[in-house]
Structure 1
Amino acid sequence: MYSRLYLLAIGLWLSACHTDTSKTPDKQSDSLAIREKYAVSAVLDATTAISHMAVDKGLEVQLVAAEPLVTVPVAMTFDEKGRMWVVEMTGYMPDTLGTGEDIPNGKIVILEDTNQDGKADKRTVFMDSLVLPRAICLVENGILVAEPPRLWFVEINNDQPGKRTLVDNKYTEGGNVEHQPNGLLRAVDNWIYNAKSDKRYRRVGDKWLKQQTHFRGQWGISQDNFGRLYYNNNSENVIGDYFPPGLGANNTEQKNVSGYDEKIVPDNRVYPARATTGVNRGYMKGTLNDSLRLVKMTAACSPLVYRGGLLGKDLDNNIFVAEPSANLIKRNIVKDSGYIVKGHQAYPNKEFLSSTDERFRPVSLYDGPDGALYIVDMYRGIIQHKTYLTPYLKNEIKSRNLTNPLNCGRIYRIVPAGTHPLPVKIDNNPAVLLALLSNNNGWLRDKAQQMIIDHRHISLVPALRSLLQQKDSLYAQIHALWTLEGLGALQLSDVMVLLRQANPYLQAQGLAALPSVINVANGKEAIDELARMEENVFLAPYVALLLPALPPQLYKDAEPLKKQLMTRYPNDPYVADAVIAAMAGKETQLQQQLKSLNPDTTLVLAKRLKRVMKDIENHRKASMDESLQKTYPRGAMLFKTVCQTCHGADGDGIQSLAPPLNQSEIVTGDKYRLTAIVLFGLTGPVTVAGKHYKAPEISGDMPGIGSNDEFSDKDIAEVISYIRGAWSNRAGKVTEKDIQDVRKRYKGRQKSFTMAELQ
């Protein structure tokens, strides 16, 4: 318990950090009273924890599993028997130093409700001795398991692990626990997508395919009924794609393609039910309000498009977002306007679910077979990883005993009040699975599609083609299309069924599936159909995105179509970026062609193409030779684990996260200014190479690493020297003494800098 004198000191210190110096004594007193109220963070049993939650009217939270049945859960999935396969990241942050994170104590467990009372009562350990496992996905006769840095496929033999196949030995190359790929979402197009990654995976026969796709999100990924993907990062509510996930990622020189990584819900405000002083930047002005509650998201994760059909029509297709640092779950309402998706928060000044229990840490959200919304709760005090842990938060953790216990964890579900949905099991019966493709529950539709494909129910092909023709069942038609694709039975004639319908959303699905069936023999027919559809403003971007999917032998036949797109839509950013994506390695040729069609340099297509060509030239000049990595080995390693995750391997920045380091005057300029930023962090807008970057285009906050005991001053000097000499940068090195000098100059400082302060 705090002493009153200590509380007074903390209260006054926080007041100075959070408010104007003219803050009244009454507000200081209020702040002190709030801190006294929340001085102790009690550990609650699961039933009591539910009583501290407030959820939307007409709904209730029910306990599904709690310790000791489950411990430190971070991700899960359901099988056809209604069982939960749960990832336990037991080794995550045992203390503020991360002591023992490399101990192989993580597990994949199976939780089962044997008496059908809605609660799990049986635990089976499927795999153990894992180091910080983070994601799983059931596929055919096995399960994908992400254990950094590898992605494994493990066969399942009577709920025991069988043969292991290495799918990707660099699945989480670089990054740290907060910034490594995860998700493993098996999407409607039969590919498996990830957050914090630009890779997708698929099993074909006994082989695993890996392809480049768009870089997406940070923790958690979801899809809507059309297979569009949604994700976010820790400071943004909802980001997502307007177009099918498998298109538009063909030009590696093109940083951003319009229609992908779009701000779906730009409002990032949160409304906690309690004071949330235990956040990493709680000392910074504007992070907390006068009630010491978080103002904007700082740990947003696991966006979920709710497709369960159980909670009521108003909640269908809403996007829910977990915010563990604020102990809440947010609800967002999204709508289509043409192909553009936009949304807003469901309520002013309140949340869908909020808790006054500080240890309630919702980190993953899922649709369930029973239609309920499932919540994975790590239930712990520490959620911030050591890499960016500030001295302020370390003190919060120590003074309020937030380190222990480490053996808790809960799984809840949200259902209509007074109801108790029974576990749902799916028989591997072709007729049953076919019927489920029309079910109101999106999870059941997805699972039925996957089971038909996994069990190779080829006998259903005629029935699937019939379902494809049923114009009164939009979602069933979509699943019939992609089930045929997954079985390898899809033909161009099947796709034409959708392309020639009046519903543009079905036409879009047909276009998304076209790469699976187009070939030299049928390509002319497909191109003629695309030329007809190109005149439709809604469909034009989809048509443009398909250009690189055509076989090379058909490029000549598709040339008139490309010219028509360039002529008709030169100021449409979606078509422009799609055309550029189709011309990877031929950007100069495209520029000459555009000049002949329309020499106006103010056209959107002309400006975006010029930007891509400038990036190509920068990369050509860049030099990341091995000698730099040999000179600064620790610097190269720290860059990969700490910096690369937000600024990109090429130093050119990542949309929604961070600005470029390459050719940045902040990097190549005053070494002491850069050192101060690396040590203490940077907040607010920055200008790099003449461009002004601010939230929400990037995260408005870069944490410092100066208080991380894992990094020595020599290490920090190396990583700064490394980025100052990398790519096109040619700035001088930074020494260990430089780091020490900056530390002395700002001794006692904890706040991040702003550029105004540094200038």
Structure 2
Amino acid sequence: MKNWLLSYSLLAAGAICIISCQPNTSEKKDKHQTDSLAMREKFAESPVLDAKASLEHIQVEEGFKVQLVAAEPQVSVPVAMTFDEKGRMWVLEMMGYMPDTSGTGEDMRNGKVVILEDTNKDGVVDSRKEFMDSLVLPRAICLIENGVLIAEPPKLWYVENNGDHAGKKILVDDKYTEGGNVEHQPNGLLRAMDNWIYNAKSDKRYRKAGNKWLIEHTHFRGQWGITQDNYGRLFYNNNSENLLGDYFSPGLGANNTAQRTVAGFDEHIVPDNRVYPIRPTPGVNRGYMKGVLDDSLRLVNFTAACGPLVYRGGLFGEAYDGNAFVAEPSANLIKRNLLQDSGYIVTGKQAYAGHEFLASTDERFRPVSLYTGPDGAMYILDMYRGIIQHKTYLTPYLKNEIKSRNLTQPLNCGRIYRVIPAKANNVQPVTLPDDPAKLLELLDHPNGWVRDRAQQMIIDHHYTTLVPQLRARLQQDTIKQPWGLLHAMWTLEGLGQLQVEDVAAVLKNKNPYLRVQALAAMPAVITPQQVNRVLQLITPLQQSVLQAPSVAMLLPYIQRLNAAAAGQLQTQLLHAYANDRYVADALIGNNAGHEQQLLEQVSSWNADTTLLIHKRLQKVLKDIDNKRKAKLNEGLVKAYPRGAKIFKTVCQTCHGDDGNGIQSLAPPLNESQWVKGDKHKVAAIVLFGLSGPVNVNGKVYKAPEVSGEMPGIGSNDEFSDSDIAEVISFIRNAWSNKAEPLTAQDIQKVRQQYKGREKGFTAEELK
């Protein structure tokens, strides 16, 4: 289970990583008890602080300062925002999120889109306009042309902007979210460098083409929040993992829906999930479990990671360019990570050992989303509230924590902060004029937000008069600061003016990373007239290990126009890179619906079944068979309607609609011995939860490959014993599973057996 905004991620405070326990000596136990009691006494109360007082509780890295930009009543419960070219903030207010521990009133239409502005340029918001109201739990926003994309589950709307007032509403996607609770639904709406709009917790991308909206399949990514680096690569996370991301451009490698994972996407960028709060954090969902909190009641590992930001503002200094910041609202902090390219692989590590970039001693400081602003500052959305865990997974332990420190109230607070260098004075946003020549200049601006927005405005206003200058920009060979050239290429693509010779010019660039990006733009120029020229350009590049994966990912586009040439190039790549996971997966991606034929081709060339491509093909073929079986469950939906609905809402978002698990989230339910085995054991898992590691059919699943724990739903008043029996019965007979159904009496029996238990089970306990 994972998701975005703290709500989502924040919300996700329930799926935490499990670490090794410390030696259980009496001395250690006594010290733990002493420290814990002292901390509980010291922080027994959690006062509600006004914005200025809460600001004083924030500690930030030396050399920086935190400034208050907006607070209630100007803003309430902010969860997502974006800036316009005037430097104004368009903010989503999720007023309906968890009014109490039962979620009473979550369906009220009290969400809003507001426009916040600093009219006197003193760094503090002094103007608030309500653009739109009466929304139910809005979660994502994006500006495009003269309108606003707004995600209001389950729908995605495009709302025309009539002088800062909501105009005509156009339905873009009536299934923007399918199933899942508020903690597990798509979000993000990141308008990326390649001119597509990407999401977290989703495998869809969107693009406006005239009056039509294009919706395409892409890689499934993350949980709450999504960001891009200077090369347009996407980064994200889930609630228990610091940072995940892509090695390659986002538009490539997602041609075969049968591939559950594609190498180079959804990779573990920063595997270190340790956090360092500066105050006790007992108010996390599994705080009663060993290893979740340390002796001073501080969270040990991420449990609500969300709102990642690759900083591109140019204001912090060279050491901070390209750093990835991640919010952890459960621990009241923001982490800094250092990223580095090694070939096409991106690696990362935490910037500090033992402390954080920013942290607060105010328990209600809940950073959920981070942004680079038009002034180069880092902006922080603070929901400022006590309850951040959604009701679906709320444990009795956390309910008691909320009650003991009165964390339910208040519900109408919210703050926006910005972080700037300590010595910076009068930091002002860059405003973007509606002037083609000036927008062209801004494509080289040191602030990545400014470059992005300049590109978007040129495209939105259809400034095709700039095409000659944009083409000329591609001829400049700049190794150290290539960003303007890259934006020029994608601006041409967005205008529909990119030509094969434009891409060829970038392929000649001395910067190898720019050459890889040029390959990512190739799909826009692979036409019947130009396919042979494209082949002429890319075929020699297969000899480069750095560029071979991207070349292989172009095969599906060539296949449609010149199958013979694509087949020849595929054979060359196969013989050269059969044991390269990135090229192998790209070749499988080119054979959607023809995986068996590719396996036969591989076997006829080399009968060695240990070849990596052979093994990955076998896995895909098995997944295809499982998916076929998953479609045979219509009768089960009729037999267990309530169970099927709960599965879709609670279970599917982590275990997948085919029950085969989701990378970085959860292991499979399909053919799992835990699901098909002892009905009382599976009931115990669903009621109380299961913490990893766990062995499923011979494979051990543990963090960070999957979340360290599956929360139980037994304490959720929303589900009756009959409901829980139904969802277990549905799962035990779905896909390839076949096992005895359960009754409400079975659930009651297990509840009685473990009466008084709150914590989840370990696999060892259930043995």
Give, in angstroms, the shift of residue 28 of structure 1: 1.6
Task: Report what 2:698 is aligned to.
Answer: 690
Task: Report what 2:445 is aligned to.
Answer: 439
Task: Report what 2:12 is aligned to.
Answer: none
Task: Report what 2:112 is aligned to.
Answer: 107
Give, in angstroms, the shift of residue 501 of structure 1: 2.5
Task: Report what 2:100 is aligned to.
Answer: 95
Distance 2:23 2:161 in 1: 53
Q: 1:234 to 1:431 in 2, by over 3 A?
A: same
**Contact 2:630–2:658 (CA under 8 A) maintained in structure 1:** no
Kindly provide the amino acid, as one letter, of the partner of residue 449 in structure 1: Q
**Comparing 727-736 and 208-217, the one that deviates more:** 727-736
The reply to whether residue 308 of structure 1 matches residue 313 of structure 2 is yes
- TM-score, length basis structure 2: 0.96
**Comparing 218-227 and 518-527, the one that deviates more:** 518-527
Distance 2:605 2:201 in 1: 39
Distance 1:424 1:619 in 2: 50
**Comparing 519-528 and 236-245, the one that deviates more:** 519-528
* Aligned counterpart in structure 2 of residue 375 of structure 1, from 357, 376, 380: 380
Task: Report what 1:414 is aligned to.
Answer: 419
Kindly provide the amino acid, as one letter, of the partner of residue 624 in structure 2: I
Kindly provide the amino acid, as one letter, of the partner of residue 246 in structure 2: D
* Aligned counterpart in structure 2 of residue 231 of structure 1, from 229, 232, 236: 236
Give, in angstroms, the shift of residue 550 of structure 1: 2.1
Task: Report what 2:335 is aligned to.
Answer: 330
What SS class does the counterpart of residue 627 from structure 2 fall into? Answer: helix
Task: Report what 2:430 is aligned to.
Answer: 424
Q: 1:557 to 1:540 in 2, by over 3 A?
A: same
Moved over 4 A (4+): 16-24
Q: 1:17 to 1:747 in 2, by over 3 A?
A: farther
- TM-score, length basis structure 1: 0.97
Give, in angstroms, the shift of residue 105 of structure 1: 0.3
The reply to whether residue 284 of structure 1 matches residue 284 of structure 2 is no
Give, in angstroms, the shift of residue 602 of structure 1: 1.2
Alignment of 1:695-734 (within 5 A): 695-734=703-742
Task: Report what 2:354 is aligned to.
Answer: 349
Distance 1:618 1:78 in 2: 44
Give, in angstroms, the shift of residue 21 of structure 1: 6.3
* Aligned counterpart in structure 2 of residue 564 of structure 1, from 572, 581, 594: 572
Q: Which has the higher contact order (CA 8 A, sep 6+)?
A: 2
* Aligned counterpart in structure 2 of residue 150 of structure 1, from 139, 155, 175: 155
**Contact 2:324–2:336 (CA under 8 A) maintained in structure 1:** yes
What SS class does the counterpart of residue 291 from structure 1 fall into? Answer: coil
**Contact 1:650–1:727 (CA under 8 A) maintained in structure 2:** yes
* Aligned counterpart in structure 1 of residue 465 of structure 2, from 456, 459, 476: 459
The reply to whether residue 188 of structure 1 matches residue 196 of structure 2 is no
Distance 1:91 1:343 in 2: 36
Task: Report what 2:4 is aligned to.
Answer: none
Q: 1:39 to 1:446 in 2, by over 3 A?
A: same
The reply to whether residue 134 of structure 1 matches residue 142 of structure 2 is no
Q: 1:684 to 1:470 in 2, by over 3 A?
A: same
Task: Report what 1:586 is aligned to.
Answer: 594
Distance 1:435 1:709 in 2: 58
Task: Report what 1:5 is aligned to.
Answer: none
Distance 1:629 1:598 in 2: 45
Give, in angstroms, the shift of residue 555 of structure 1: 1.6
Task: Report what 2:648 is aligned to.
Answer: 640
* Paired positions, count: 744
Give, in angstroms, the shift of residue 502 of structure 1: 2.7
What SS class does the counterpart of residue 606 from structure 1 fall into? Answer: helix
Task: Report what 1:4 is aligned to.
Answer: none
Distance 2:432 2:758 in 1: 55
Kindly provide the amino acid, as one letter, of the partner of residue 577 in structure 2: Y
Kindly provide the amino acid, as one letter, of the partner of residue 206 in structure 2: Y
Gaps of 5+ in 2: 1-20
The reply to whether residue 754 of structure 1 matches residue 762 of structure 2 is yes
What SS class does the counterpart of residue 627 from structure 1 fall into? Answer: helix
What SS class does the counterpart of residue 138 from structure 1 fall into? Answer: strand
Distance 2:313 2:733 in 1: 52
Distance 2:281 2:40 in 1: 10
**Contact 1:17–1:283 (CA under 8 A) maintained in structure 2:** no
Give, in angstroms, the shift of residue 81 of structure 1: 0.6
Q: Deviations over 1:110-129 (max 9, x none)?
A: 00101110000110000000
What SS class does the counterpart of residue 592 from structure 1 fall into? Answer: helix
* Aligned counterpart in structure 2 of residue 554 of structure 1, from 540, 548, 562: 562
Task: Report what 2:10 is aligned to.
Answer: none
Task: Report what 2:11 is aligned to.
Answer: none
Give, in angstroms, the shift of residue 689 of structure 1: 2.2
**Contact 2:71–2:413 (CA under 8 A) maintained in structure 1:** yes
Distance 1:17 1:178 in 2: 32
Task: Report what 2:6 is aligned to.
Answer: none
Distance 1:150 1:263 in 2: 31
Distance 1:324 1:18 in 2: 29
Give, in angstroms, the shift of residue 685 of structure 1: 1.1
Give, in angstroms, the shift of residue 18 of structure 1: 11
The reply to whether residue 293 of structure 1 matches residue 301 of structure 2 is no
Distance 2:88 2:632 in 1: 48
Kindly provide the amino acid, as one letter, of the partner of residue 626 in structure 1: E
* Aligned counterpart in structure 1 of residue 533 of structure 2, from 520, 525, 531: 525
* Aligned counterpart in structure 2 of residue 361 of structure 1, from 361, 366, 376: 366
What SS class does the counterpart of residue 506 from structure 2 fall into? Answer: helix
CA RMSD in angstroms, aligned pairs only: 1.3
Task: Report what 2:681 is aligned to.
Answer: 673
The reply to whether residue 468 of structure 1 matches residue 458 of structure 2 is no
Distance 1:214 1:298 in 2: 24
What SS class does the counterpart of residue 550 from structure 1 fall into? Answer: helix
Give, in angstroms, the shift of residue 26 of structure 1: 4.3
* Aligned counterpart in structure 1 of residue 268 of structure 2, from 241, 260, 263: 263
**Comparing 542-551 and 660-669, the one that deviates more:** 542-551
Distance 1:207 1:551 in 2: 27
Kindly provide the amino acid, as one letter, of the partner of residue 489 in structure 1: Q
Distance 2:29 2:677 in 1: 41
Task: Report what 2:409 is aligned to.
Answer: 404
**Contact 1:18–1:288 (CA under 8 A) maintained in structure 2:** no
Percent of residue pairs identical: 67
* Aligned counterpart in structure 2 of residue 170 of structure 1, from 167, 175, 184: 175
Give, in angstroms, the shift of residue 17 of structure 1: 12
What SS class does the counterpart of residue 513 from structure 2 fall into? Answer: helix
Distance 2:363 2:276 in 1: 14
Kindly provide the amino acid, as one letter, of the partner of residue 502 in structure 1: K
Distance 1:519 1:545 in 2: 16
Q: Deviations over 1:657-688 (max 9, x none)?
A: 00011111111111110000000000011111
**Comparing 545-554 and 715-724, the one that deviates more:** 545-554
**Contact 2:115–2:129 (CA under 8 A) maintained in structure 1:** yes
Q: Deviations over 1:384-432 (max 9, x none)?
A: 0000000000000001000001110000000011423123321010011
Distance 1:310 1:584 in 2: 45
Q: 1:659 to 1:521 in 2, by over 3 A?
A: same
* Aligned counterpart in structure 2 of residue 179 of structure 1, from 164, 170, 184: 184
Distance 2:328 2:314 in 1: 23
Task: Report what 1:630 is aligned to.
Answer: 638
**Contact 1:332–1:343 (CA under 8 A) maintained in structure 2:** yes
Q: 1:623 to 1:143 in 2, by over 3 A?
A: closer
What SS class does the counterpart of residue 179 from structure 1 fall into? Answer: coil
The reply to whether residue 448 of structure 1 matches residue 454 of structure 2 is yes
Distance 1:377 1:317 in 2: 23
Task: Report what 1:118 is aligned to.
Answer: 123
Q: Deviations over 1:434-472 (max 9, x none)?
A: 000001000000000000000110100001001111112
Distance 1:612 1:301 in 2: 31
Task: Report what 1:68 is aligned to.
Answer: 73
Give, in angstroms, the shift of residue 578 of structure 1: 0.6
What SS class does the counterpart of residue 297 from structure 1 fall into? Answer: coil
The reply to whether residue 212 of structure 1 matches residue 217 of structure 2 is yes
Give, in angstroms, the shift of residue 553 of structure 1: 2.8
Kindly provide the amino acid, as one letter, of the partner of residue 569 in structure 1: Y
